[in-house]
A = this chain, B = another copy of it.
């Protein structure tokens, strides 16, 4: 803070009234005569006093008027990813409606297992945790704050995430169910030899490249794990086993092309590639083009996410409602804040079962799946 002249008390002394009256001049204008109010405001102006200190008020009223948002290791990355941008748009809309600001909390360059000190220091009434890798130090730090928390996407609810009674509230999609239509499209088109290309399954650097179903079962990146297990389940039900799975740490174009190369080297006979993200799928598309494979003539490809570019290229994919996720999170948040605000010590248990909101997704048929043909 800068050079604020005076305080409520000093203005009160100046004008010759009590602190309460000055406070009322700002917060309850109907509690004093207009003329006295004007006299007070004038004195304040003269002294350079610009109204009650927000921090002191916040200490007294026990609310900050803001919700904290935990995004990625590198905050700037969140602004390069269309999904998180859409999420933020939805969240900002619904929290603005409730009169809350949005405090974006940078996690700093992932210093091992230490939670960011900014989490403990954030002046907020609640937290949103958006797609944070495993239940690591950050989530614990958030939970330790003792304010309402809503987790979006990741980590999944059940997985030993909560420290408290029933864990934090959750908003997300059912990845395993959501990806099924894409997997089914492949199966129904007649493919029997299918490969999977995905983003990393483990938050640490380990196990990049070809992974086994056992690896998948142990993965701590729940979203990716859910998508792959969902697809494998569909394949298994169709009697398709032995599905090669290739992953890459980053979800970018170059990684995707590289992963595609690895997959086709590993299993040259695959006639279809199911990808766990659209970015990966777009890379696979480009790899196929570069080696002269026609899509969907020679190879079928599916994605996941529903990013604009993928839809534009006619990718067969699953569209997920990122903006609506943000809106849903905002709604849950304001509800939770409301509860926490009032019920400070009335009847018994303050925390009912935390809400779990699973949003629907939509399969987009596209034009990148067709029956296999011999090559």
Interface centre among A65, A101, A122 (most CB of B within 10 A): A101
Interface string of A96-121 (1 = CB under 8 A from B): 10010111111010000000011011
Q: Is A62 an interface residue (CB 8 A)?
A: yes
A145 CA to B88 CA, complexed, in Å: 27
B62 contacts A75, C-beta separation under 8 Å = no
Q: Is A35 an interface residue (CB 8 A)?
A: no
Q: How many chain A residues touch the partner (CB < 8 A)?
A: 59
Q: Is A55 an interface residue (CB 8 A)?
A: yes
A65 CA to B75 CA, complexed, in Å: 16
B75 contacts A93, C-beta separation under 8 Å = yes
Q: Is A125 an interface residue (CB 8 A)?
A: yes
Instruction: Indicate how many identical chains form the complex.
Output: 2
Known: A58-B55, A88-B79, A103-B102. A146 touches B2 (CB 8 A): yes
Known: A101-B103, A125-B1. A92 touches B118 (CB 8 A): no
Q: Is A59 an interface residue (CB 8 A)?
A: yes
Interface string of A24-67 (1 = CB under 8 A from B): 00000000000000000000000010110111111100111110
User: A-side interface residues toward B, CB under 8 Å?
Assistant: 1-4, 48, 50-51, 53-59, 62-66, 68, 74-76, 78-80, 85-86, 88-90, 92-93, 95-96, 99, 101-106, 108, 117-118, 120-123, 125, 144-148, 340, 344-345, 350
Q: List 25 A-B contacts (CB under 8 A).
A: A1-B62, A1-B147, A2-B146, A2-B148, A48-B146, A50-B146, A51-B144, A53-B59, A54-B121, A55-B55, A55-B59, A55-B123, A64-B123, A65-B118, A66-B122, A75-B92, A75-B102, A78-B92, A79-B86, A79-B92, A92-B104, A96-B108, A99-B108, A101-B104, A103-B103
